[in-house]
Structure 1
Amino acid sequence: MSIPDAQIHPVATGAASETVAKHQDPQEITLWSGWFCPFVQRIWIALEERGIPYQYKEVNPYKKEKHFLDINPKGLVPAVEYKGKALYESLVLLEFLEEAYPTVKPSLLPTEPYDRAVARIWVDHITKNYLPAFHRLMQSQEPEVQEQARKDLIEAQKKLVAQVKGPYFFGEQFGIVDVAVAPWIVRDWVISENRGYSRSQAGEAWAKYAKAVTERPSLLKTESDKEHYGQIYGRYLRNEAQSEAAKAIRAGKQIP
């Protein structure tokens, strides 16, 4: 079952719409985006953090334009068009931006190889533990499954925050680990209002870290009005969403 177009606001709103308006001129990089997608927001945050010039283009999930499908047959966002060629997958794109623009500071990856490896370990933790638990909690209809998912999410948060040097993962420098998890932290109101979750359940350290991340200007500038997210996440809460992430959770698979 698909979501009727009328139920999804077609473009970014609020602070995000102001950011979109500043990025309409053609650039070396085009960000093909869905304003509501947390995986897209990872790349959007990275571009804003690093000040890399980009052009923003919104993809209508029901009427994808031919050029977008020509460069990216998978038809998924986020996608980046770089010198006429397409790349996708949010974590791949985060690293691509580091390699394509090595002289643009600040970098989201640490300088030292060891610290870079540590960052990748904890991004992997977010991918394999945090996100599946978050989505299971949001989508599951059975109370006992929700309870286990809530426990799994809190455990994943505790393990992550135990490594945080503060205020961000590596200390004062906002980086790739923070970017990888930020869109789900800012969306935790969905499970707070509907699934009995609160940040305090993961402890004071997690609540403090979450507050620091969600107050980051790059995140605030890429956020739309809450009311429009509600229209989308209602479908996840009823387990009716048809995104690739939702389908993977229903099938018991890893989120692609």
Structure 2
Amino acid sequence: MSVPDAQIYPYATGPAAVTAATHQDPQDLVFWTGWFCPASQRVWIALEERGIPYQYKEVNPYKKEEAFLRINPKGLTPTVEYKGKPLVESLVLLEFLEDAYPSHTPRLLPADPYERARVRLWLDHVSKQVLPAFFKTVQAQDKGKQEEELRAYYTALRKLADEVKGPYFLGQEFSLVDVAIAPFVVRDYIIEEHRGYKREEVGSGWKEYAEALEKRDSVTRTCSDKEHYEPIYGRYLRDESQSETAKATRAGRAVI
């Protein structure tokens, strides 16, 4: 996700800044990230959840380091540099961490083959149904269109909510489905304030699920102060953003 805007605060703040400060030593895995990017937060949550050693590298949206651009010429986050080799795309990175660090627990993909497949199916639902509806709701300008997109967002969330065993998607076990949706749950106050969204309207225990996610330690540790998110989403709310996510939303593509 790329967000070149003069109002964006360039560095993590709050709990995220504290977490970042503890991961400055060189490691086999270098995590190139933007604090504002929900896709990056997914990977960060997984790293923290599983206790994987990593070096945190904040990508300044105004002046991207040459070292970063060499491994990712598009300059998009998240990017992982593993033993000098780059990898991108948040959902790919989440599965990579499962494979590259099998001894670090908890695992976020279940051991049972059926449940693993089920997790992947619902990750697909998040990418192809939930997130496009989220960003369409944010970017819609006409009042009628906003209400239409919000209804579609509720529908996508209800399908997911009906599968949640509670308190997390698989029950007590925290999984990649939870990781994938959590950054958008902690940002849903944006559409609550500007588009009339209410967690209660989803039903099927969604409000309780959302509250469990935003209270998860790995989620809270990777969140910056809320005041710095608002300027970023202002550009989406006005449908002015030229980020890859905004372009994908306009084109009707999946958001990963």
TM-score normalised by length of structure 2: 0.97
- Residue 250 (structure 2) pairs with residue 250 (structure 1): yes
What SS does the corresponding residue of 2:123 show, helix, strand or coil? Answer: helix
Q: After superposition, where does 1:1-256 map in structure 2 within 5 Å?
A: 3-5=4-6, 7-203=7-203, 205-255=205-255
Structure 1, residues 87-131: CA drift from partner, whole Å, max 9, x if none? Answer: 000000000000000111110000011100000000000000000
State the alpha-carbon separation in 1 of the partners of residues 10 and 164 from structure 2: 37
Alpha-carbon offset, residue 253 of structure 1: 2.9
C-alpha contact 2:132 2:252 (8 A) present in aligned 1: no
What SS does the corresponding residue of 2:80 show, helix, strand or coil? Answer: strand
- For structure 1, list consecutive stretches of 5 or more residues without a partner in the other structure: none
Ranked by relative contact order (alpha carbons within 8 Å, sequence separation 6 or more), the top structure is 2
What SS does the corresponding residue of 1:146 show, helix, strand or coil? Answer: helix
Alpha-carbon offset, residue 4 of structure 1: 4.0
Structure 1, residues 53-76: CA drift from partner, whole Å, max 9, x if none? Answer: 100001122321111111112221
C-alpha contact 1:244 1:255 (8 A) present in aligned 2: no
C-alpha contact 2:4 2:62 (8 A) present in aligned 1: no
C-alpha contact 1:134 1:153 (8 A) present in aligned 2: yes
Alpha-carbon offset, residue 161 of structure 1: 1.1
What SS does the corresponding residue of 1:222 show, helix, strand or coil? Answer: coil
State the alpha-carbon separation in 1 of the partners of residues 158 and 40 from structure 2: 25
Pairwise CA RMSD: 1.1
State the alpha-carbon separation in 1 of the partners of residues 241 and 55 from structure 2: 29
State the alpha-carbon separation in 1 of the partners of residues 132 and 5 from structure 2: 26
What SS does the corresponding residue of 1:134 show, helix, strand or coil? Answer: helix
**What's the % identity of the aligned pairs?**
59
What SS does the corresponding residue of 2:205 show, helix, strand or coil? Answer: helix
C-alpha contact 2:162 2:204 (8 A) present in aligned 1: no
State the alpha-carbon separation in 1 of the partners of residues 230 and 70 from structure 2: 32
State the alpha-carbon separation in 1 of the partners of residues 208 and 225 from structure 2: 23
Count of matched residue pairs: 254
Alpha-carbon offset, residue 247 of structure 1: 1.3
Alpha-carbon offset, residue 3 of structure 1: 4.5
C-alpha contact 1:15 1:222 (8 A) present in aligned 2: yes
- For structure 2, list consecutive stretches of 5 or more residues without a partner in the other structure: none
State the alpha-carbon separation in 2 of the partners of residues 98 and 255 from structure 1: 22
What SS does the corresponding residue of 2:152 show, helix, strand or coil? Answer: helix
Structure 1, residues 212-246: CA drift from partner, whole Å, max 9, x if none? Answer: 01100100000001110011111111111121001
Equivalent AA in structure 1 for residue 120 of structure 2: R
State the alpha-carbon separation in 1 of the partners of residues 39 and 134 from structure 2: 14
Structure 1, residues 162-211: CA drift from partner, whole Å, max 9, x if none? Answer: 11111001110111000010000110000000001100110150001001
C-alpha contact 1:38 1:183 (8 A) present in aligned 2: yes
TM-score normalised by length of structure 1: 0.97
